[in-house]
Amino acid sequence: MEDTYGDGGRGSSRASDVESGGGELSAPRLRVDTPERAGLDATELGHLVREVRDLTTGERPWAAGVVAVAGRGPVIAVREAAGWAVRYVSYDPQTDAGVELPPAERVPMTVDTPFDLASLTKLFTSVAAVQQIERGTLGIDARVGAYLPEFRGAAEHGITVRQLLTHTSGLRPELPLYDCPDDTARLALLRAEAPTGQPGTYLYSDLNMLLLQFVLERVTGRTLDVLVHEGITRPLGMTSTRFGPCPGAAATEDQRRPWAKADRGMLRGVVHDENAWALGGVAGHAGLFGSGRDLAVFCRTLLAGGAYGPARILGPDFVELLLTPPGLGFAVDQPWFMGELACRGAAGHTGFTGTSLVLDPATDTFLVLLANTVHPRRRPPDSRPRAAAATHLARAVCPRP
């Protein structure tokens, strides 16, 4: 188990030991320090930490393992890991329980463990899109058909880039690409897909980010994984964030029918999402792996107006465009997973595997909560622990002098 406010013996927690940006144009880098130095109440954060630890205990824990990273401004005040990155060898449907590995073979969770980020991938796709909007190579209100005329379903109904980013295209939540025999069949299915809902009405859909991926690859001539690496993760020093495979990641599901959509066995280090897997692991809606610290850097960058250290990935006006309600890719003010942060203009997202992040520009705070809730198998989603953790962070905010 990790130390509450330090590195759990895996690194220094002294502010002087953490790299900071140099030069007048550099934005401060994150450092690990005390809650007081962050302007946060230590007692409230203590409640957050204890509840995070409790999420991995009992006969049917909320998750096999959890990592929480929280802070304010450039200070990380909580870095906590609990439970197991790998606890089960399989799932037994007869007993509706996981078959545990012998204790010596389990893999403990650490603050550096990478996770299958699932739908948090959508945030990176959204940032990559807004980067192209900032550069003038992509029009936010341009029609998808202007870039992808062969996607006749989207073209004929006038779907726009903004509608993809705000989940208002009318496209259904997903397609069974995992059942197609080959890439040709998968592409044909996507190209023919037309809205099933009323365009302009919110309907969350993985297909929005898949189409956005194709748009980005068409206008830039580069694949999505290259766009994310070159435009986001490399300049920000997010060295653990990449599309899979990721052998050291926390395990996810013993993926089998009928509860899943494919028969793949216990998954670790390969994308959990069946459609992203069918597409080779790189998809606009899922496929990224990353650590809590890396996502804290991502949050800090957006809270700082698009800059981190000497790097800038977006201008402040375009960060504001991302986070202004209803948000571009980001969900804004959603109490079901943001708790009491939701009333302040917070933005963030969740992922099916148990991942989430929230950043609150009003208080300059962020919370990353990563868990392998689908290990050893998926359950009905329960975001109450996410909301509770975010509420503790909201209540921890102290007035700044």
CB within 8 A of 192, min separation 6: which ones? 152, 153
* Alpha helix (H) residue ranges in 221-343: 224-228, 234-236, 274-278, 292-303, 316-323, 335-338
Report the pLDDT averaged over residues 245-257.
97
pLDDT for 244 beyond 80: yes
Question: Is residue 10 situated within a structural domain?
Answer: no
CATH of residue 141: 1.20.58.710
> Are 326 and 208 within one domain?
no
Q: In 331-394, at which residue ranges do the beta strands (DSSP E only) sit? A: 331-332, 347-351, 355-360, 365-371
Amino acid 161: pLDDT: 98
CA-CA distance, 266 to 9, in Å (whole number)?
31
pLDDT for 13 beyond 60: no
DSSP H or E segment with residue 108: strand 107-108
> How many CB atoms within 10 Å of residue 53?
18
Closest CA to 90 of 266, 258, 259: 266
> Are 216 and 72 within one domain?
no
DSSP 256: -
> Are 244 and 210 within one domain?
no
CB within 8 A of 345, min separation 6: which ones? 323, 325, 332, 333, 360, 361, 362
Closest CA to 391 of 351, 343, 325: 343
Question: Is residue 3 situated within a structural domain?
Answer: no
pTM for the full model? 0.93
pLDDT for 194 beyond 90: yes
Question: Is residue 161 situated within a structural domain?
Answer: yes
CB within 8 A of 42, min separation 6: which ones? 34, 35, 36
DSSP for 168-184? -S---S---GGGSSSHH
CA-based R_g, the chain, Å:
20
Residue that terminates a domain, selected from 221, 236, 253: 221
pLDDT for 15 beyond 50: no
Q: At what angle do helices 292-303 and 316-323 cross, to 10 degrees?
A: 110
pLDDT for 227 beyond 70: yes
Amino acid 18: pLDDT: 29
- Cα 313–chain centre separation: 18
Q: Per-residue pLDDT tens for 156-165?
A: 999 999 999 9
- Residue 344 — very low, low, confident or very high, per pLDDT cuts 50/70/90? confident
- Residue 400 — very low, low, confident or very high, per pLDDT cuts 50/70/90? low
Question: Is residue 40 situated within a structural domain?
Answer: yes
pLDDT for 23 beyond 70: no
Residue that terminates a domain, selected from 203, 221, 239: 221
Amino acid 401: pLDDT: 60
Question: Is residue 88 situated within a structural domain?
Answer: yes
Report the pLDDT averaged over residues 321-328.
96
> Are 42 and 149 within one domain?
no
Question: Is residue 8 situated within a structural domain?
Answer: no
> Are 173 and 289 within one domain?
no
> Are 323 and 383 within one domain?
yes
Report the pLDDT averaged over residues 218-247.
98
Report the pLDDT averaged over residues 273-290.
98
> Are 191 and 146 within one domain?
yes
Q: Per-residue pLDDT tens for 34-49?
A: 999 999 999 999 999 9
- Residue 22 — very low, low, confident or very high, per pLDDT cuts 50/70/90? very low
Relative to beta strand 88-92, strand 75-86 is: unpaired
Amino acid 153: pLDDT: 96
- Structural domain for 288, as ranges: 15-115+226-396
- Residue 25 — very low, low, confident or very high, per pLDDT cuts 50/70/90? low
> Are 32 and 47 within one domain?
yes
CA atoms within 13 A on the CB side of 216: 29
> Are 101 and 245 within one domain?
yes
Average pLDDT, the chain: 93
> Are 306 and 355 within one domain?
yes
Which residue is associated with the tokens 């969770």? 109
- Cα torsion 383, 370, 350, 241 to 10°: value is 180
Total count of domains within the chain = 2
Contact 103, 58 (CB under 8 A): no
> Are 230 and 371 within one domain?
yes
Question: Is residue 87 situated within a structural domain?
Answer: yes
**CA–CA distances in Å: residue 332 to residues 227, 322, 325, 361, 368:** 25, 10, 6, 11, 16
CATH of residue 98: 3.40.710.10
Residue that terminates a domain, selected from 201, 221, 241: 221
- Cα torsion 109, 111, 117, 122 to 10°: value is 170
Question: Is residue 7 situated within a structural domain?
Answer: no
> Are 89 and 184 within one domain?
no
